[in-house]
Structure 1
């Protein structure tokens, strides 16, 4: 079979049952026997897509058939699914929060700062000036507060460690690239197992935050540059790479990756990414690559 359609639900709410798989298979030309990647959670349906000129239209038809079901769908060629390089955003992707919003909460400014963050992530305002404005509001916050915020307010997104450990066990390199801050990425990368991490640096004045961020700011162009740098260092083709994120500053790397994934993303990002995960956890990125639950590693 030349192509495969993958159905994915959240492991906490299994929704990929036999009836749903059968209904989807009937819409696929020459569909073969489905492969259960995890019973109730994810399945691959191979099919003959050689004569289909518009996979977008087929995907739309499948999505219409799945309407109302908490199930993600992606259609792709069957060959070359496993990736050897992953670049991942941190805030609202590998963790459940926006770090700058949680720092602002310590000063009673979370609602104000979160509103700016939301607009920047939707692409409604430029990322760099928005970051400078938000960091400026943090001036005078004790640096020691950051460790407490990480311990008390930051949670890892379900499936994240399994995603990274499984890909690394299969020879992939994994990089955390964030428009957030190194204080956070260093800790999160270590907890999940990333090979490297890159982010912005908060400048300090003694033991307080200075209210400034070191220039140049790591935004979407820098994220894309890290993708190309690592691809060249590893001697990989574009098709061997994957990028995942949720905000407008992730779009450049999502577009340039062999498989760009919008994860529980802002509408503009979801509309432009090759793949979108609206329901699944981060193990969905493994199912997209054809891994089954028996392949998963968590340590």
Structure 2
């Protein structure tokens, strides 16, 4: 079967002939490197019966090199549906932790967030516990957090703009809150967004969220629903996230990607980004530098 290895460097670690040569040496029946972006990304095609074994050999061969790599079937790399987590993926923060900072309890809530993202505790009770601790926080504090503490992950706007320009649908699906997903979806260029809805009383957080709670299964359900509506095969879908509540949608997607993820997620995903930004997802799909829509 024909596969493509994509190697993706970054500004700190550009791709070199030495790195490409080391990778090619671990591939059976490999082609010459096809540059997608000079010194940043290239494809190398090969034929093999067991791609997982080849990828393991590659990771051993390139151990210590701070670059990303993915091995995929050559056919069908460009996806028609992107489903993305928001916190610590499309944005660089966890919104609920930043809200906690407004009450000077960030460390307390961040510890619960970290445990939930590692899969040590269930997402839904962890969410309710943290939201309960935020009771009384005024609406103005949420606006302040959005304006002063939330930053977009580099490459996100190019990712959505490029995929949408080539006919893909982009969905932001978060276990966080619609207050933030609606704004981030508009700013980054997503077609739609889904998340949990905070309940306010007299313009202050009540300490609860509307039901049903959007968690791990809801993310899977959203991917399947959109895939069905768009009449896409599983192979045409892409999901990306960093936490344990993303594991289901990552497993369900044609290409599931762990983004700078917790160990349990990185180990389970069939692809991962450990070093690059979100533009890495475009090179994984075979987009060339001159095809990328920079926003």
User: TM-score by structure 2 length?
Assistant: 0.98
Q: Secondary structure at the match of 2:90?
A: coil
- Partner SS state of residue 251, structure 2: helix
- Among 155, 158, 165, the alignment partner of 1:159 is 155
SS at 1:91's partner residue?
A: helix
CA contact (8 A) 1:263 1:276 kept: yes
Greater Cα shift, 207-216 or 164-173: 207-216
1:177–1:198 contact (8 Å) kept in structure 2: yes
The residue that corresponds to 1:29 in the other structure is 28
1:48 equivalent in alignment to 2:47? yes
Give the match for residue 122 of structure 1: 118
What number of residue pairs does the alignment pair up?
295
Please give the per-residue CA displacement for 1:163-190, whole angstroms capped at 9, x wherever unaligned. 0100000000000000000000011000
2:77 to 65, 68, 81: 81
Deviation at 1:41, TM superposition (A): 1.3
1:150 matched to 2:146: yes
In structure 1, C-alpha distance between the alignment counterparts of 2:238 and 2:97, rounded to whole Å: 27
2:274 to 275, 278, 286: 278
Match of 1:293 among 268, 289, 292: 289
Question: Which residue of 183, 207, 221 maps to 1:211?
Answer: 207
| Deviation of 1:211 (Å) | 0.8
1:262, distance to aligned residue in structure 2 (A): 0.4
Aligned equivalent of 1:91: 87
Single out whichever of 26-35 and 173-182 deviates more from structure 2: 26-35
Q: Kindly provide the CA deviation profile for residues 53-107 of structure 1, in whole angstroms up to 9, marking residues without a partner as x.
A: x221211110111111101111111111000000000000000000000000000
Question: How far has the Cα of 1:15 moved from its partner?
Answer: 2.6
Equivalent residues of 1:127, 1:249 under 8 A apart:
yes
Distance 2:256 2:76 in 1: 14
Q: 1:292 & 1:121 partners in 2: Cα distance? A: 33
- What is the CA distance between 1:137 and its match in structure 2? 0.7
Partner of 1:131: 127
**Where do residues 163-242 of structure 1 align in structure 2 (5 Å cutoff)?**
163-242=159-238
* 1:61 and 2:57 matched: yes
Structure-2 separation of matches of 1:41 and 1:298:
16
Say what the alpha-carbon RMSD is for the aligned residues: 1.0
CA contact (8 A) 2:3 2:51 kept: no
Measure, in 2, the Cα distance between the counterparts of 1:176 and 1:254: 14
Q: Distance in 1 between matches of 2:293 and 2:224?
A: 27
Q: Secondary structure at the match of 1:144?
A: helix
Determine the C-alpha separation between the residues in 2 that align with 1:274 and 1:60: 12
C-alpha deviation, 1:207, in angstroms: 1.2
Measure how far apart 1:263 and its partner are: 0.4
Question: Which residue of the partner structure matches residue 13 of structure 2?
Answer: 14
Do the aligned residues in 1 keep the contact of 2:3 with 2:71 (CA within 8 Å)? yes
Scaled by the length of structure 1, the TM-score of the pair is 0.97
Aligned to 1:265: 261
Poorly superposed stretches of 4+, deviation over 3 Å: none
What secondary structure, in the 3-state scheme, does the structure 2 residue paired with 1:145 have?
helix
Question: 2:254 matched to 1:254?
Answer: no
